[in-house]
Structure 1
Amino acid sequence: MDAIGGGGGLISLPAYLLAGIPAHFAVGTNKLSSAMGTVISTIEFARSGYIRIKLAAVSVVTAIIGSSLGAQLALHINENDFRVILLIILPLTALYLLLNRHALNSKLADTKLTSSQFMLTIAISLGLGAYDGFYGPGTGTFLLITLTGIAHLPINLAAGNTKVINLTTNVTALVVFLLSGKVMMLLGLVAGLFSIVGNFLGAAYYKRFGSRIARPIIIIVLLIFLTKTIWDLVG
Structure 2
Amino acid sequence: MEFFKVLMIICPLVFLAGVIDAIVGGGGLISLPAYMAAGLPPHLATGTNKCSSTFGTLLSTVRFMKNKKIHYIAALTSAGAALVGSPLGATLNMILDERYLSYTLLVLLPIIAVFLICKKDFGDQEGRVEENKVRMIVLSLLSGFLIGMYDGFFGPGTGTFLILVYTGVIGFDLVTASGNAKVVNLASNVAAFVTFALNGKILWSIGIPAALFGIAGNWVGAGLAIKGGKKLIRPMFMVVLLLLMIKIGYDLFLG
The interval holding the TM-score normalised by the smaller chain is over 0.9
TM-score (norm 1): 0.95
Matches within 5 A, 1:13-162: 13-105=32-124, 107=126, 112=130, 114=132, 115-162=134-181
- Say which SS state the counterpart of residue 130 (structure 2) adopts: coil
Render the CA deviation track for 1:71-93: whole Å, top value 9, x for unaligned: 12112210112211111111111
Alpha-carbon separation, structure 1, partners of 2:237 and 2:91: 29
Match of 1:210 among 229, 235, 241: 229
1:191 matched residue in structure 2: 210
2:199 matched residue in structure 1: 180
Alpha-carbon separation, structure 1, partners of 2:52 and 2:171: 31
User: Contact 1:97–1:215 at 8 Å: present in 2 too?
Assistant: yes
* CA 216–180 in structure 1, closer or farther in 2 if over 3 Å, else same: same
User: Contact 2:125–2:171 at 8 Å: present in 1 too?
Assistant: no
Alpha-carbon separation, structure 1, partners of 2:106 and 2:160: 16
Q: Cα offset for 1:106?
A: 5.9
Alpha-carbon separation, structure 2, partners of 1:63 and 1:105: 26
Task: Give the letter aligned to residue 131 of structure 1.
Answer: Y
What count of residue pairs does the alignment treat as equivalent? 234
User: Contact 1:40–1:199 at 8 Å: present in 2 too?
Assistant: yes
User: Contact 1:2–1:199 at 8 Å: present in 2 too?
Assistant: yes
Deviates more, 1:74-83 or 1:200-209: 74-83
> For structure 2, which runs of at least 5 residues remain unmatched after alignment?
1-19
Q: Cα offset for 1:136?
A: 0.6
Deviates more, 1:32-41 or 1:72-81: 72-81
Deviates more, 1:115-124 or 1:83-92: 115-124
Structure 1 runs of 4+ aligned residues shifted over 6 Å read none
Task: Give the letter aligned to residue 130 of structure 2.
Answer: K
Task: Give the letter aligned to residue 24 of structure 1.
Answer: H
Please, what is the CA RMSD of the aligned residues? 1.5
Q: Give aligned-pair identity as a percent.
A: 41
1:228 matched residue in structure 2: 247
Task: Give the letter aligned to residue 35 of structure 1.
Answer: T
